[in-house]
Amino acid sequence: MPNSHDLKGLMKFLSRDEWRDCFEDTLDDHFGPVLDASNMEFDDLAEMLGDHWAMTLWGCAFEDFLTQDFDVEGGNIADDYLKRRGWKEGAQAKAYMKALRTSVMSLYEVSDIVSGKSLMARDLIRGGDPVLVSEGTATKTLQQWDRVAARVVPVAGKNIIGGGLLPFTPEASDALFDGLRAIFGKGRSKKLPVPTNEELQQAAPVFTLSWLFDTLDRTMRMEQTTFENGDGDAIIFHDVRFPLASGITPKEITAQLKTVPALRQENAKFWNWLGDIPKGRLKAGKSGNLAWDTSMEDGARVLGNVELKGRFLHLSTNSAARAEKGTALMQGALNDLVGKPLTEIRTVEQMMAERPVHKDTARPELPPEIATKVVHEFLDKQYRETLDQPVGMLGNISPREAIKTAKGREKAAEWLKYLENRSSSQPDPNDPMATYDFQWIWTELGIENLRR
């Protein structure tokens, strides 16, 4: 006997001629605009996002398909299957299929998460009080105030979540509400009227598309992002090693390097290779790339480092252009004091992969309870100051100013939920950032009633 949430029999029913073409239309509604815009096939999504998300997306479309009526024999696949094959299913499996048949996709804000057991879900589109949802898997990864698109359905006296659950970023949420306002909005009003269940059923593809456009955009931006230095050159680490010529001592090298104006000596064996102090902004890199450079306290840019290590002089810098320039500088200053250089090249990814996983034992760590106390006291001070400072999410007014109006209090609550969500999303649940308690800020602003 299949388990209570097993839809394999219903999925096999898709192979029937009358349902195959109908489902293709539903798949096109959910993925067509994204695939057409990206010149991709559905299988390409698995390569970009992974099999898990490809199957989740397929599940979102399938659950939507279960709610639709078509001008074919049987009318609705769930009704048709239960009529023809329902005798094969257990009572709970049939109840689950019937619940999905009338379900709607919506955007929920989750709270009060009990890992492996349950969560509270507040419908951000239809409103109402949060409802208790029994959920085992998702509660192990969700964080307080996360937003998810899902179908919450009642089965056997409990609310459960269907198989198609999509985590929404703030950007995806904004895109979703823009899409829903375009469908259900009145005139130029920015307020989204509460849609009926029937209307929300018809808008199911908007959820999938909003999530997909946002996720693919972030994925492709991450793939295209490169690190650049202040010259606009791609970050590629170069270690140029000059062997000391036979009979040459480190003292002779040191004496000669002291004559190079661009080198600033830090100790007996280490120099910073400096560029000019920039008069204006550094050269801008390509859009989306990450700038990475170092400067001295007086503003002079550090182009590289020079270090004596045994019988080698090392020039370390972060781009091919700087390595070429630095090599010429060293050879011009040292001439026949050094031999032909050898160069080792490593990318940012290689450098990150080579970082040791063990902790630095040379520097003592603070006991966890002390570290937590220090971080929490720092955050207390920082957030107390923030309450009187302009905040972008609040329209560039302070939280204390915002709470003077009903709309401002709602925005302040959204701002606090955003802070809590970011704080709780640390990889280590025992991290001082993850354990910080924001309750005092809600109380300070007098908006505890909105913390739901």
For the chain, 452 residues long, give each residue's pLDDT as a single digit of tens. Answer: 345 677 888 889 888 888 999 999 999 999 999 888 878 888 888 888 888 899 999 999 999 999 999 998 889 999 999 999 889 888 888 999 999 999 999 999 999 999 999 999 999 999 999 999 999 889 988 999 999 999 999 998 999 999 889 999 999 999 999 999 988 877 666 788 899 999 999 999 999 999 999 998 888 776 555 677 778 788 888 999 999 999 999 999 999 999 999 999 989 999 999 987 655 444 444 444 555 667 777 778 889 999 999 999 999 998 899 999 999 999 999 999 999 999 988 876 666 666 554 444 444 555 777 778 888 888 888 888 889 888 888 988 999 999 999 999 999 999 999 888 888 887 778 888 888 899 999 999 999 999 88
Report residue 149 CA to chain centroid gap. Answer: 16
Q: Give yes or no for a contact between 61 and 208, defined as CB atoms under 8 angstroms apart.
A: yes
How far is the C-alpha of 98 from the C-alpha of 96, rounded, in Å?
Answer: 5
Given this model, what pLDDT does residue 189 score? 67
Residues in CB range of 238: below 8 A, 6 or more apart:
315, 316, 317, 318, 319, 320, 322, 323, 343, 344, 345
Q: Give yes or no for a contact between 107 and 195, defined as CB atoms under 8 angstroms apart.
A: no
Q: Give yes or no for a contact between 11 and 77, defined as CB atoms under 8 angstroms apart.
A: no
How far is the C-alpha of 361 from the C-alpha of 149, rounded, in Å?
Answer: 45
Which tokens hold the place of 170?
């703030």
In one letter, which amino acid is 404? K
How far is the C-alpha of 52 from the C-alpha of 215, rounded, in Å?
Answer: 14
- Report DSSP state, residue 244: B
Residue written as tokens 């006296």?
157
Given this model, what pLDDT does residue 363 score? 44
How far is the C-alpha of 249 from the C-alpha of 16, rounded, in Å?
Answer: 85
In one letter, which amino acid is 253? I
φ, ψ (nearest 5 deg) of residue 435 = -95, 0
The H or E element containing residue 160 is strand 158-161
Angle at 210 between CA 205 and CA 216, to 5 degrees: 120
pTM for the structure as a whole: 0.67
How far is the C-alpha of 189 from the C-alpha of 195, rounded, in Å?
Answer: 15
Which tokens hold the place of 330?
């060293």
How far is the C-alpha of 233 from the C-alpha of 348, rounded, in Å?
Answer: 13
The H or E element containing residue 422 is helix 406-424
Residues in CB range of 271: below 8 A, 6 or more apart:
257, 263, 264, 265, 305, 306, 307
Q: Give yes or no for a contact between 239 and 314, defined as CB atoms under 8 angstroms apart.
A: yes
How far is the C-alpha of 114 from the C-alpha of 116, rounded, in Å?
Answer: 6
In one letter, which amino acid is 344? E
Report residue 151 CA to chain centroid gap. Answer: 23
Which tokens hold the place of 203?
């808008």
Which tokens hold the place of 230?
């202040």
Q: Where are the beta strands (DSSP E) in 318-407?
A: 342-347
The number of residues making up the chain comes to: 452
